[in-house]
A and B are shown apart, each in its own frame.
Chain A
Amino acid sequence: MASRKLPVLLAGLLLAGAAHASQASHVHASHAWIRLLPANLPAGGYVVLANDGDRAARLAGAGSRDYGSVMLHQSTSQGGMDVMRMVDHIDIPAHGRTALAPASYHLMLGKASHPLKPGDKVPVTLRFADGSTLHVDFLVRPANASGDGRD
């Protein structure tokens, strides 16, 4: 009896161990939205990422079938000037959260593959430094929105 249960138990523990190692499995996304701008102008993507793991998670990239280009960006205000630059990664601290929000970290989404409108859901794949991925649906909102409308 024990010999039949042991492999199952071991397999279970191994699986649990593997799941525990993945950064994506510890990250929970909420309030994901895209600020839609007219014509083919690049759009901004925002989301709150909470990490319940014991180690920091590192967001290393993102992709979407609705956009040809998705980059991680950061806006900063330095000495009265607004500057935006691309970043390689965005860290989410252990047992903490990082918000991609206006005037801070955000996704820059460009080269839309087809016209989008407010109310659409854009599936985005967030890629972490360890290769794990998290799928998040971003809600398309109008240009003058102040959030995802669901707070």
Chain B
Amino acid sequence: MKPSRIASIVLPLLAVVLLLAGCQRSAPAPWQLTDIRSHMPDLAFSLTDDGGKAATAADFKGKVTLLYFGYTHCPDVCPLTLAHLHAVMEKLGKQADAVRILFVTVDPARDTPAVLHDYVRAFDPHALGLTGPPRAIEALVKRYRASFSREPAQGDGSYEVSHSSAIYIFDRAGKARLLATPADTQDQLVHDLRLLIGSGD
């Protein structure tokens, strides 16, 4: 075979191999939680924090943010989730300074800023409560394709609220990156949060 002929076969093959090798190098990081990058919108909201002040997503730029929907009259799963996240913060140690846990109430009628303040502080200093008009809460819930439904009130005025069980995780730039479910372990959360904290972007 003429050299030019060999070249015309080998070179394209080489290019393909190099391209594939390039793909391998830019493969995604080994996330242990569910990767939702580019599937969910950036963190954006305009609500009231547990100190009664206006709060927006911009306030959390530079922090790795965990977003969770719940309500304070839930004695089982919401406290479990927050206790779980508290244990994660303990495992992160000093690195937890870069993390914020946003507990958004799906029960703004009962969860006033004062109620939320006492509640989140009982769990972890990195947690903040957020509330607002029902429309603002619904818009945020819809934004992350979560949902909630309030049952009719009982005779004594009490009621339950069903709500999504997922924890949405945003990087320091406010981009949606990961989703944690009740099945994910504390160690998986610690592993992935370390990656987000370390990346600095």
Contacts and interface: CB of A to CB of B under 8 A. Distances in A.
Contact of B165 (A77, A85, A145): A77
A73 B87 CA distance: 25
A133 to B, nearest CB: 23
Taking residues whose C-beta sits less than 8 angstroms from the other chain, chain A's interface range is 20 to 34
Contacts, number: 89
B104 interface: no
Interface in A73-87: 73, 75, 77, 80-85
Contacts of B121: 38
B182 A103 contact: yes
Contact of A75 (B72, B76, B83, B87): B76
A145 B83 CA distance: 6
A81 B79 contact: no
B160 A84 contact: yes
B75 A108 contact: yes
Interface centre among A35, A42, A73, A81 (most CB of B within 10 A): A81
A41 interface: yes
B123 A41 contact: no
A3 interface: no
Given A81-B147, A144-B123, A146-B83, A41 B164 contact: no
Given A77-B182, A143-B122, A143-B123, A37 B79 contact: yes
A10 interface: no
A37 B74 CA distance: 10
A76 B183 CA distance: 13
The 9 closest A-B pairs by CB, nearest first: A143-B122, A38-B118, A102-B80, A44-B75, A144-B86, A82-B165, A83-B162, A144-B83, A42-B75
Given A73-B75, A143-B122, A146-B83, 20 more contacts: A35-B79, A35-B83, A37-B72, A37-B119, A38-B118, A43-B75, A73-B76, A80-B181, A81-B165, A82-B164, A84-B74, A106-B76, A110-B158, A143-B83, A144-B79, A144-B83, A144-B86, A144-B124, A145-B83, A146-B84
